[in-house]
Amino acid sequence: MKGFLCVGIRKGKKRQMAKRVKKRVVFISSFLPRKCGIATFTSDLITSTAAAAKGEFEPLVVAMCSGDDLKYNDPVKFEIRQNVKSDYICAADYINFSHVDLVSVQHEFGLFGGEGGSYLSLLLDRLKSPIITTLHTVVDEPDEAYRKAMIDMCEVSYKVVTMNERGVTMLRDVYGVSTRTVELIAHGIPDLPFVDSNYYKHKFGMEGRRTILTFGLLNKNKGIEVMLKAMPRIIEAEPSVVYIVLGMTHPNVVKYDGESYRFSLQRLVKDLGLENHVIFHDRFVTDQELHNFLCAAEIYVTPYISRNQLTSGTLSFAVGTGKAVVSSPYWAAEELLADGRGKLVESGNSIEMADAIIDLLKNDSLFYSLRRSAYEYGRSRTWPKIGQAYWKLFGAKQLPVRIAAKSLLSAAETISSIAAPEPSLEHLKKLTDDTGLFQHAKFTIPNRDLGYCTDDNARALMVMVEYHAQHPGPEALGLFELYLSFVMHAQNKDGSIRNLMDFDRTWRESEPANDAFGRVLWALGTVMAKPPSPAYLSIVKDCFDRSVGRVQRQYPRGMAYSILGMSDYLKQFPGASDIKRQVEMAADELVKQYEESSLPDWQWFEDALTYDNAVLCHALFVAAATLENEKYLAAAKNTCDFLLADCFNADHFSFIGCNGWYERGKHRASFDQQPIEAAGTVMMLRSAYDATGDNRFLGLQRRAFDWFLGANDLGLPLYDFRTKGCSDALMRSGVNINQGAESTVSFLQSLLAIVETYAIIHKVQDGQAKLPHQVGLFDEIAQPPAAVGFVPVKHGNRKQALEVEEST
């Protein structure tokens, strides 16, 4: 096999009998100490499978991380940050090189990044080992993103496990999954004895009390308020009753909503006078603590609001330990409590809930009948039995040799080919105070004398939207809100935008012409397309709507920035006809300028190539895709090819220098080259791919990004791996040591765009898309056919290049 050293057995040597090899199974899941039900499930599954395998099982865990700084122990071998795409690709390489026999995916949509958890496909499509996927959620009416993510995952899975009979039917009818692929294995439950709860009540000081329990991570769907409203009626019938709400608030709820739900429940307890009858245990309990609480409880309740819950570990535990259960009729409860194993009441109906519980408290015959039926049913679902079922599945003698990606995977598609720094906010934070982002720096030290500008803060706002999408967390959100605050403050009541602010927070009275208006509109549109939270939408929309009527009063680049912002607006509100009209008018104006200025040897919008040139093509590619307009697309392709012919120098980019620019018919300035040109080109090339589907643009996009890392005229990196900042310019004498806002933001924009592109690369057939920095691979995508009009040549022969272009 090419690229591998194969070692055989020497002839004449007697083979020794091989030792029985353990089956290596990788589990892709959340895992302890993460406070998550699936983490606990996976831990119990590994323990029970190991017991069933009797020494023939070696588990490895690839742990899904949500941003918490947790320390994992064995069997965790690798960690994936939920919203970092490159981690999924890297994890696939790690698994492929770890000689595993099988991959077990514990799937819940919310565990994985991307819409509908789609980032998981980045990993699964690359794996060489068979995949068995356990579904913890199946949605009966999925939107397109969730439906596609589920189908893609099932297609690459050798077997799909569901825990509920309804799940088998839904997979067949909703997702088209063959029943031959589906295995039904119940949710495991602890193997606890059938006990008298009075024996355990003394552990909690509850002797003489009738005990009701709910446990699990709190969120609004738990419907605890329904049970609390039932309590006065229950207490009237049985004054000794106490209701225990066991469990902390779900970490994801805390992250976005804090403890608002728990506080509302505590207020309700006080309003209803239930202080002596309700106990909140706000913590994540150990298995032993949970067992003690279950044994102490007489009645278990799950008053969930939504019916659409296919599995419930907490309800399974309660049934398996022989609790008398009262529940709302969600899917898992309907199956677990059928045939007299529990009582179902209408969702949200506190009176029905109260009456059902009172009936159990007063009717011993019914109470013990439910308990016995539940306990006997649970004997087939104890973890030892479930471990045996999974081991039978894992230990099958004839697993497929390879359940692989839909196409062969090239080395170019592995993590080793990404060769890009980890996105870091370290230098950006250094340039930021509580007002906003400073314009300039002396080396890495913020230059307070020159203050702030809206241009840079708008760009930084866009970066934080993209960064938060890939690395959500409080740090990113804090910077996002800071830059958004600056941008909002820059807006006048009439929708115009102020640009320059001194360090004392006063706006400068007279300003040179600038593109701050367009950049602000682009930034606001970016927020609307990818809001970190829906709560920001109304605020940002108000700002956008206040300014959008002034779009036509700008220079070409400002018009281009505005087109990009308005196109993002339409991603959130596609029916906004007034915004569509504004996009069309702005795009028509750019095309008009192109038609008036272009000549056969000068396919451009103006008589000079100056700064941020690529954004003009970028805007027309986006307008063409947004409005499905062929005229815009033709102009975008012509100008893009012209710009690439000027800037791409056989194997690297060489951007227009700001010391003279490039006027038609005059000398082209080679220096100083600025990072904004590389960033603009990176984003333009992605939009070119989106509009045309031409894979060459993806390769060129990587080349443009590599300009930051040293693929430039001087072979010097502008990105500083130590400071995490970016130099302000590539000069004839070297790099400018100053690392200001525009350059650092440009680098981050480009890096985040490149990471985003890897979601596309993995879908492209092998051989059609190669990463550009690999020797011997670049020519396939970076050298387009002559008919396209883009002819990369050495800078010393630009006149010839333009002549060739005209002839083609």
Q: Please give the average per-residue pLDDT across 548-569, as a whole number.
A: 92
Identity of residue 520: V
In this predicted structure, what is the pLDDT of residue 759?
A: 55
Say how many Å lie between the first and final Cα of the chain, rounded. Answer: 43
- The answer on pLDDT for 617 being more than 60 is yes
In this predicted structure, what is the pLDDT of residue 399?
A: 64
If we measure between CA atoms, which residue out of 195, 184, 125, 183 comes closest to residue 155?
125
Residue 546 Cα to chain centre, angstroms:
31
List alpha helices for 530-613, DSSP H: 537-547, 556-572, 577-597
If we measure between CA atoms, which residue out of 270, 257, 276 comes closest to residue 218?
257
Backbone dihedral region of 710: left (phi > 0), alpha (psi from -120 to 50 degrees) or beta?
Answer: left
CA-to-CA distance for 576 and 567, rounded, in angstroms?
10
Scanning the structure block, which residue is given the tokens 């970092």? 84
Question: Residue 161: which H helix or E strand, with range?
Answer: strand 159-162
pLDDT (tens digit per residue) in 661-708: 999 999 999 999 999 999 999 999 999 999 998 888 988 999 999 999
In this predicted structure, what is the pLDDT of residue 760?
A: 57
pLDDT band at 114 (very low <50, low <70, confident <90, very high): confident
Q: Please give the average per-residue pLDDT across 25-50, as a whole number.
A: 94
Assess contact for 37 and 216: CB atoms under 8 A.
yes
Q: Please give the average per-residue pLDDT across 511-516, as a whole number.
A: 84
Q: What percent of the chain has pLDDT over 70?
A: 88
Q: What percent of the chain has pLDDT over 90?
A: 65
In this predicted structure, what is the pLDDT of residue 211?
A: 93
Is residue 71 helix, strand or coil?
Answer: coil
pLDDT band at 553 (very low <50, low <70, confident <90, very high): confident
- The answer on pLDDT for 716 being more than 70 is yes
Q: Please give the average per-residue pLDDT across 127-156, as a whole number.
A: 92
pLDDT (tens digit per residue) in 322-366: 999 999 999 999 999 999 899 999 999 999 999 999 999 999 999
If we measure between CA atoms, which residue out of 426, 489, 409 comes closest to residue 457?
489
CA torsion, ordered 485, 490, 493, 497, to nearest 10 deg: -140
Handedness of CA 734, 740, 741, 744 (dihedral sign): positive
pLDDT (tens digit per residue) in 727-745: 999 999 999 999 999 999 9
Q: Please give the average per-residue pLDDT across 250-270, as a whole number.
A: 85
CA-to-CA distance for 399 and 395, rounded, in angstroms?
8
State the chain's maximal CA–CA distance in angstroms: 99
CA-to-CA distance for 467 and 115, rounded, in angstroms?
16
Residues contacting 88, CB < 8 A, separation 6+:
80, 113, 119, 120, 122, 123
In this predicted structure, what is the pLDDT of residue 510?
A: 83
In this predicted structure, what is the pLDDT of residue 487?
A: 97
In this predicted structure, what is the pLDDT of residue 601?
A: 93
Q: Please give the average per-residue pLDDT across 143-159, as a whole number.
A: 92
In this predicted structure, what is the pLDDT of residue 408?
A: 39
In this predicted structure, what is the pLDDT of residue 474?
A: 87
Q: Please give the average per-residue pLDDT across 517-541, as a whole number.
A: 94
CA-to-CA distance for 596 and 273, rounded, in angstroms?
78
Residues contacting 595, CB < 8 A, separation 6+:
635
pLDDT (tens digit per residue) in 165-223: 999 999 999 999 999 999 999 999 888 888 878 778 877 888 889 999 998 888 888 99
Give the residue with greater pLDDT, 579 vs 422: 579
pLDDT band at 606 (very low <50, low <70, confident <90, very high): very high
Give the pTM: 0.64
pLDDT band at 398 (very low <50, low <70, confident <90, very high): low
- The answer on pLDDT for 447 being more than 90 is yes
Q: Please give the average per-residue pLDDT across 408-425, as a whole number.
A: 54
Q: Please give the average per-residue pLDDT across 73-93, as a whole number.
A: 88
Question: Residue 280: which H helix or E strand, with range?
Answer: strand 278-281
Would you tell me how many other CB atoms lie within 10 Å of the CB of residue 224?
26
pLDDT (tens digit per residue) in 762-771: 544 333 333 3
If we measure between CA atoms, which residue out of 629, 497, 620, 483 comes closest to residue 550?
497
* Average pLDDT of the chain to the nearest whole number: 86
What token pair was written down for 610?
A: 């100056």
pLDDT band at 2 (very low <50, low <70, confident <90, very high): very low
Give the residue with greater pLDDT, 286 vs 131: 131
Residue 266 Cα to chain centre, angstroms:
34
Is residue 57 helix, strand or coil?
Answer: strand
CA-to-CA distance for 689 and 697, rounded, in angstroms?
6
Would you list the DSSP string of 487-532? HHHHB-TTS-B--EE-TTS-B-SS-----HHHHHHHHHHHHHHS-S
For 290, phi then psi, to 5°, come to -60, -40
In this predicted structure, what is the pLDDT of residue 728?
A: 95
CA-to-CA distance for 250 and 243, rounded, in angstroms?
20
